[in-house]
Structure 1
Amino acid sequence: MPASEARAEDIAARWSAVGLTPRVEQHAQLTSIEAEVPESFPAESWRDVLEAVVEADRFGLLANNLNGRTLWAVVRTTAPATGDVRGPGRQR
C-alpha cells in the first residue's frame, strides 16, 4: 500500500473513532477525506481530530448556515509541483 493511501486511511479511521463519518474519494493526484461535523460534536474530541489532520498535506473546516460544518483533508498521491513545495505563501 502506498504511503499516501495509508495516511488517508489513517485519517479516516481516526475521524471514525471520534464519531464522525468520513467520506474518502480517490482522485488522479490526491485523496480527499471529508466529514460533516455536528453541532453537538464534543469539544474534547477536537484534539483527536487535529492530531489526525497533521498527517494531511492540506486540511480545513468549512462552516456556513446552509450546510453546517464540513471537515476536510487532502493527501497528495503524487509529488507536488515545484512551485508548491514550500506551502502557500512561500513560493518564489
Structure 2
Amino acid sequence: MPASELSAEDIAARFSAVGLTPRVEKHAHLTSIEAEVPESLSAESWRELLEALAKADRFGLFANSLNGRTLWAAVHTAAPATGDVRGPGRQR
C-alpha cells in the first residue's frame, strides 16, 4: 500500500478515535478527509487531531454559522514534479 494511502487511513482513523465521523474521498491526485467538529470537542481531542493533521500535505477548518465546523485534510497521492515543488518561477 502506498505511503500516501497509509497516511490518509491513519488520519481518518485518528479522526474516528476522537469521536468524529470522517468522510474519505479519493481524487486523481489526492485523498481528502473531512469531518464535522462539534462545539464541545475537548482540548485533548484537538491535540490529537493536530497530531493527525501533521501527516497531511494540507489541512484546514471551515467554520460558519450555517453549517458549523468542518475539519479537512488532504494527502497527495503522488509527489509533485521537481519543477512544481517551489511553485512557478521558484525553481533552482
Same fold (TM over 0.5): yes
Q: Which amino acid aligns with 1:55?
A: K
* 1:41 shift after superposition: 1.4
Structure 1, residues 13-57: CA drift from partner, whole Å, max 9, x if none? Answer: 011000010000000000000000011112221000000000000
- Work out the CA distance in 2 between the residues paired with 1:37 and 1:86: 32
Structure 1, residues 33-82: CA drift from partner, whole Å, max 9, x if none? Answer: 00000111122210000000000000000101111000000000012253
Map of 2:44 onto structure 1: 44
Q: Which amino acid aligns with 1:33?
A: I
Larger radius of gyration: 2
Map of 2:24 onto structure 1: 24
Q: Which amino acid aligns with 1:60?
A: G
Instruction: Give the fraction of aligned pairs with identical amino acids, expressed as a percent.
Output: 77
Map of 2:56 onto structure 1: 56
Q: 1:1-92 alignment to 2 at 5 Å?
A: 1-81=1-81, 82-83=83-84, 85-86=85-86, 92=90
Q: Which amino acid aligns with 1:3?
A: A
What's the secondary structure of 1:75's corresponding residue? Answer: strand
Q: Which amino acid aligns with 2:8?
A: A
Q: When the two structures are aligned, how many residues end up with a matched partner? A: 89
Instruction: Show structure 1 runs of 4+ deviating over 4 A.
Output: none
Q: Which amino acid aligns with 1:32?
A: S
